[in-house]
Structure 1
Amino acid sequence: MFLPEGSQDETGNLISNRLTALEIFRRITNSRNFRPISTPVVEYASTFTNDVAGMDLQWMLKWFNSDGEIEVLRPDWTAAIARAIASQHPSERKWTYQGSVFRMDKHGTENRQAGIEIVHEERFLGESESLLTAAAYLNELNISNYVIELSHTGIFEGILTLYPLNDEQKRQLHDAMYEKQEDYVKEILKNTNAESLIQPLIELMDAYGSREIIDEYKQRWQDTPSLLEILDQIEELIRLLEQAKVPEVIIDLGRVKNLPYYDGIMFRGFLVEDGSTCFSGGRYDRLYKQFELQTSAVGLAFDVDVLAKHMPVIQPSEKLCFIVDSTTHAYAEQYRIEHPDLRIDIRYSVDSELVYDRIYHVIKDRETYKVVER
């Protein structure tokens, strides 16, 4: 009744874990030479809904400004950062950000993220740095039980180019593959000139698992060089992650893009404990074409809310209370400053509703002060 749908108040460990996660992310990215960037929380809708970015206005928090332009609360970091850095000198290549995005098609309208973007960089280097930064961050959070999934937009899109399909049929097949709906694939393609595509797409939905799938599909696609090249790219990243001691890497050859601007490798991180997605990202070179830039761009974003729920709970230090009066308050404050590792509450009296591990009185005896446990 007192909050809009999707909004919520929070207290306690979740907030502490989130702040800790963000501080560790800042430290990790700083050590890897990423430059911080922040964009306004209010943007023009066209930044995200143009033909290249292609996001759906329906799910954004929006309004009309005094000039009749549609403004939105930032629904996506990548498109916003592309707008912000398109005019920057290309010598700046690695960017990091922290902050919320707002979308009505998610659980809760506000989602806290921390992410990285790498632009103007050689393909494999950018993808490697993205994934190795993700692994380093998870390890620093003491989250070791995770899986990295690799996929590529060019597989599904490349297969469709081999068949006589119109744009509407391609869109419908994309939706069917995204939802893993075999019956929908059959319905779209039956009685068309591309009916022979039904079985390959259904089998592609199940092309999910260990790297052995790549060997199988190299045999299937031995006469399609463009698809073989994609498999080689995925395999190259798998080798890197294995050498970096990433716990587990899987492949999903049938995955299609969830954001229109992706145009290459895609990756996600899953937490084994409950299967939740802790990060996602990929390549999006085409996003910069709207700024007349032909360049490379890749990145990923962590769901900080998910990480905060899965981080080990840090046990707080003892909660101490110093009972003082107006003559001893300044001494107790100085004591607190000199002992930053202690959690000290200063009060003039304590009622029964307040709970502490230990309670002390600060007493002034002539020119000296004493701290006496009650």
Structure 2
Amino acid sequence: MFLPSGSQDEFGNVVSNRNMVCEVFRDIIANRGFVEISTPLVEYASTFTNRYVGMELQNLLKWFNRNGEIEVLRPDWTSAIARALVRLKSKQKKWAYQGSVFREDQPGIEKRQIGIEIIQTPEILGESECLFLAKELLEKLNINEYAVELGHTDIFEELTKSLKLPAAEKQRLRVAMHNKRKDEVFAIVTQYGDENLATELVFLIGAYGSIDILKEYEHRWAENAKLSAILQHLNRIITILKEVNIHEIMVDLGRVKNLPYYSGIMFRGYSSDNGDLCFSGGRYDKLYDQFETNMSAIGLAFDVDILANKMGIASKRERIGIVATDDTLAFAERYRSKCKESIVEIVYEVDPSVPYDKVLLVKKMNGNFEVVEA
């Protein structure tokens, strides 16, 4: 039988590495005081397509249930967890999850994620905890060459608040900024009569790279209290990251939110060798407005498949074959406990296609069973 487009079977090392990523993650979150949470794989579409979340229904894996309501495979953890936490009414502030999300607008419809959500926690503390955990996980997986990129949703919002843009046009402008289409950004803004702002936004698209860019914009935005406060906030986070030995830090002042619920700092982590996106996240205080709840919240998610691939081939373990019989199976199984660091298989005969490092035979000598090398 063939598989649907975007689905695939996987074997061996890639599966082992993925499981190892999750094991290391679970150990870290336990040590940092997180509680695990799981939400159903099947949810109502409205949890993700409402105006607070803003996902496109066409991008979700969906169907009608027997009552005519649209259900979907979970496309996003953050929104699902927000729905769950409002119902739970727990005082726990740090949550962690692992599992798949499903979207049709991404390569491969299934994306495996692990991540954290932190609620009702002071800004700097919550944001730093996210990035501290990211650092710990990457380095425990021996992914030591990575860069952290910082941005902030309110830069775009502050600069464009004076424009009388219809909602659809503002979203078109946001998409043009995201895609770094300078010509389109300039055309949209000048159409609404502000050529100076159009020029400012075009320059902002290029405000990407070294943290030295912040110094230029501290001078450029000195008269704007809101923008100056954002730059000060980014500088505080950068100082903290340097103090924990994260030195490859970038900024993208022109970055815009890709979902409506983001409402503050945004961050991403890239592999330094080829730019793979290892994690992403940010603040989303406005997400809980849909539940008429005032809740500060921040989180980040890791792409498990990318992390597993970055780990490379797992360290090779010695592979041993123990040749036994019906009468010696129990002895061979007891002997296995002496080979804790090795892969041990009990067989009746050696398969020449299996690359054993060592083959052992169980023999009866002087009335006792013993193992000898073949």
TM range (shorter): over 0.9
Q: Distance in 1 between matches of 2:157 and 2:354?
A: 63
Task: Kindly report which structure 2 residues correspond to 1:70-89, keeping only aligned pairs within 5 A, or say none.
Answer: 70-89=70-89
What is the deviation of 1:312? Answer: 4.4
Equivalent in the alignment of 2:214? 214
Equivalent in the alignment of 2:9? 9
The DSSP-based 3-state class of the residue aligned with 1:190 is helix
| Number of residue pairs the alignment of both structures matches | 374
148-157 or 45-54: bigger deviation: 45-54
Aligned amino acid, residue 333 of structure 1: E
Equivalent in the alignment of 2:46? 46
Task: Kindly report which structure 2 residues correspond to 1:179-190, keeping only aligned pairs within 5 A, or say none.
Answer: 179-190=179-190
Equivalent in the alignment of 1:129? 129
37-46 or 359-368: bigger deviation: 359-368
Question: 1:316-367 deviations in whole A, cap 9, x for unaligned?
Answer: 2111111111000111011113432221111111233333111111113464
Task: Kindly report which structure 2 residues correspond to 1:209-358, keeping only aligned pairs within 5 A, or say none.
Answer: 209-358=209-358
Equivalent in the alignment of 2:158? 158
Aligned amino acid, residue 32 of structure 2: R
Q: Distance in 1 between matches of 2:163 and 2:253?
A: 19
The alignment status of 1:65 with 2:35, answered yes or no, reads no
Aligned amino acid, residue 226 of structure 1: K
What is the deviation of 1:194? Answer: 2.1
The DSSP-based 3-state class of the residue aligned with 2:88 is coil
The DSSP-based 3-state class of the residue aligned with 2:147 is strand
87-96 or 46-55: bigger deviation: 87-96
What is the deviation of 1:56? Answer: 1.2
Q: Distance in 1 between matches of 2:365 and 2:97?
A: 53
Q: Distance in 1 between matches of 2:9 and 2:304?
A: 16
RMSD of aligned alpha carbons: 1.4
The DSSP-based 3-state class of the residue aligned with 2:341 is coil
Q: Distance in 1 between matches of 2:320 and 2:247?
A: 42
- Whether the aligned pair in 1 keeps the contact of 2:261 and 2:287 (CA below 8 Å) is yes
46-55 or 354-363: bigger deviation: 354-363
The DSSP-based 3-state class of the residue aligned with 2:273 is coil
The alignment status of 1:22 with 2:17, answered yes or no, reads no
Equivalent in the alignment of 2:138? 138
What is the deviation of 1:191? Answer: 4.0
What is the deviation of 1:98? Answer: 0.7
The DSSP-based 3-state class of the residue aligned with 1:328 is helix
Question: 1:161-199 deviations in whole A, cap 9, x for unaligned?
Answer: 133333232111101001110111133233432232221
The DSSP-based 3-state class of the residue aligned with 1:341 is coil
- Whether the aligned pair in 1 keeps the contact of 2:51 and 2:260 (CA below 8 Å) is no
Percent sequence identity over aligned pairs? 49
Q: Distance in 1 between matches of 2:137 and 2:324?
A: 43
- Whether the aligned pair in 2 keeps the contact of 1:328 and 1:364 (CA below 8 Å) is no
The DSSP-based 3-state class of the residue aligned with 1:95 is strand
Flag structure 2 segments of 5+ consecutive residues without an equivalent. Answer: none
Aligned amino acid, residue 104 of structure 2: M
Question: 1:192-249 deviations in whole A, cap 9, x for unaligned?
Answer: 3223222111100000122221111111112211111111111110010011101311
- TM-score, normalising length: structure 1: 0.97
Equivalent in the alignment of 1:102? 102
Q: Distance in 2 between matches of 1:367 and 1:291?
A: 75
Question: 1:111-149 deviations in whole A, cap 9, x for unaligned?
Answer: 111100000111111111111111111111111100000
Flag structure 1 segments of 5+ consecutive residues without an equivalent. Answer: none
Question: 1:265-310 deviations in whole A, cap 9, x for unaligned?
Answer: 0000000111010000000011111111101000000001001111
- TM-score, normalising length: structure 2: 0.97
- Whether the aligned pair in 2 keeps the contact of 1:336 and 1:342 (CA below 8 Å) is no
Equivalent in the alignment of 1:116? 116
Equivalent in the alignment of 2:35? 35
Q: Distance in 2 between matches of 1:345 and 1:181?
A: 58
Equivalent in the alignment of 1:360? 360
- Whether the aligned pair in 2 keeps the contact of 1:142 and 1:312 (CA below 8 Å) is no
